[in-house]
Amino acid sequence: VLSLIQAHYTSERRGAIFGMYGATQGIAATAGQIIGGLLLRMNLWDLDWRAVFLISVLLGTLILALIPFIPESSTPDRAGLDWIGAGLAAAGLLMLVYPLVQGQRQGWPAGLVVSLLLSAPVLVLFAWYERRLLRRGRLPFMNVDLFRHKVFTLGILVVLLLMSSQGAFFLVAAYMLQLGLHFSALQAGLVIGSMGMGYFLASLFSSRVAAKLGAHVLTVGSILTTAGYLLLSWAVRTTGVSSDIGVWIPALAVLGIGQGFVAAPLTNIVLAKIRTTDIGSASGVMTTSIQIASTIGIALIGIVWLSALGAHTDSISAYPDAFNICLYVLAAATALILPLALMLARRTGARRS
């Protein structure tokens, strides 16, 4: 999708288009929380939580039906898939992600520790092999030379920090609301979904803000995102174990607005200087980074959550404390976006209003 937008719209229109793309993500995030809660309440065919996968089947079918209407943007001299590179990438990521997801639950057996340690050399081997293909004039699975572009590399680092914290937040917020405050899945979805509305509005207006501030829109977004986590931490300390959490909503709105001001314009800023022939590869790296970051963020925050909660899973008062520790970790992670955003602004010649 990102490469199609980059290929079919002029630079003057891409900012607004990416804003609409981000707004769509905000709507999807909000709707997903609510629809997921509804499906759990309805318990179709006694599927319990498995019913949420019905949405994927429906959307997948719709996407397949729309594919013929998507304009072609491939080059006439397409090469075959780099199967070795794809295999090395898949193996390295599996060896990294699986231990992070299962390690705490299984008590970190030796096999998972070894897998985690070996993931780094496998990914290094992948990068070496891809660069070797480039030097031989062949098409790699991933163009690693993209990371020689400072703006692209900085952008990927922002993606990793933002999306890992976002995925992690959805997990621990659901834990807090459902396990700590005993909200239903639908009630929890409605609360978390309020963040999506802020994301939606910020995405719509992000192109106008970026037109005045340039890449400094990311600076604004990073500050608001970190502030949102800290405000929510204050709100959690205020409400404690009370189910009257109306004070959470403004903090969630600030959090959503901050994320929208980062996520929506980031793609346009990062891909603007990439050569047309590399847009597809660059877009693929960004999309993959989003998925990897979310998975790793969920795995790591799960470790923090379980460590903070300890043996007090039966004590309702332990949940706000554990949630607050997680919020501090997420605030620290998103605070790291600020220096990256400032470096991006300098390298892209951000406008100042």
Q: Can you give 104-153 as a three-state secondary structure string?
A: HHHCCCHHHHHHHHHHHHHHHHHHHHHHHHHHCCCCCCCCHHHHHCHHHH
For the segment 30-78, what is each residue's pLDDT rounded down to a tens digit? Answer: 777 777 777 777 777 777 777 777 777 888 888 888 888 777 655 555 5
Residues 6+ away with beta carbon under 8 Å from 132:
none
pLDDT band at 15 (very low <50, low <70, confident <90, very high): low
SS3 313: coil
Predicted local distance difference test score (pLDDT) of residue 352: 42
Which helix (H) or strand (E) element contains residue 250? helix 248-271
CATH architecture of 2-61+149-348: Up-down Bundle (1.20)
- DSSP code for 276: G
Q: How far is residue 341's CA from residue 336's CA, in Å, rounded to a whole number? A: 9
The average pLDDT across 191-208 equals: 84
Instruction: Report how many helices (DSSP H) and strands (DSSP E) the chain contains, helices first.
Output: 12, 0
129 backbone dihedrals φ, ψ, rounded to 5°: -65, -40
The average pLDDT across 255-281 equals: 83
pTM of the model: 0.83
Predicted local distance difference test score (pLDDT) of residue 111: 92
Residues 6+ away with beta carbon under 8 Å from 208:
none
Q: Give the angle subtended at the CA of 42 by the CAs of 38 and 48, to the nearest 5°.
A: 100
SS3 349: coil
Residue 251 · residue 227 · CB < 8 Å: no
Predicted local distance difference test score (pLDDT) of residue 299: 87
Q: How far is residue 98's CA from residue 101's CA, in Å, rounded to a whole number? A: 5
pLDDT band at 353 (very low <50, low <70, confident <90, very high): very low
The answer, yes or no, to whether residue 144 has pLDDT greater than 50, is yes
Q: How far is residue 87's CA from residue 115's CA, in Å, rounded to a whole number? A: 16
End-to-end Cα, the chain, rounded Å: 31
